[in-house]
Amino acid sequence: MVYTMKIYVDGGCRGNGQPGSIAAAAACIQHRSGNYNCFTRVVNESPDGDPPTNQRAEITAIIIALEIAVEKYRELDGNPYLELEIFSDSKYAVNCMNEWIYKWERNGYINSAGNPVANQDLIREASGLDDDLNEEGRVTYTWIPRERNEVADKWCNKELDEIEEQRKYADLT
């Protein structure tokens, strides 16, 4: 038996990488009916205290998707073969998971310029989840144009709007 999941992800940042920037991530699992269940998360600064960025948000969205997949898979009876496809409009996130991560792991997370890989805390977390799920089947990451990622984009922007609203309210009190 094969258990198939399709999850659309998006991350966004307003004020990308600048002090005071806000970032959010969303992952939307598509059901056979065509309906979605969506999950969002605020993206925090890096462990070094750097402000959030679009790239951190995009990788966080993949982490959310992988966490959803792990949870859903554990709820199943038996051990079906897993077919998980994660769709993202971020070439950076897709390339991280499909190509660059293997080079970085071999090079001790040093990039081709000889510098530590940015966002490696999140990339390592995503890699661990990916490894766990690949033991149950196959995980693929597919780049799609932004127009095909409307649901995840909507939920990401909804979370960003809520963060902005909370900040405005906090500034008034």
Measured over the CA atoms of residue 121, residue 124, residue 128 and residue 129, the dihedral's sign is: positive
Domains of the chain: 2-172 (3.30.420.10)
Does residue 172 carry a pLDDT above 90?
Answer: no
Q: What DSSP state is assigned to residue 147?
A: G
What are the tens digits of pLDDT across the range 20-42?
A: 999 999 999 999 999 999 999 99
- Residue 30 has a pLDDT of 94
Assign 78 a pLDDT band (cuts: 50, 70, 90).
confident
Assign 167 a pLDDT band (cuts: 50, 70, 90).
confident
CA–CA dist 58, 158 (Å, integer): 16
CA–CA dist 75, 26 (Å, integer): 22
Q: What DSSP state is assigned to residue 31?
A: P
Core vs surface per residue 67-103: b (16+ CB within 10 A) or e: bbbbebbeeeeeeeebebbbbbbbebbbebbeeebee
Q: What DSSP state is assigned to residue 90?
A: -
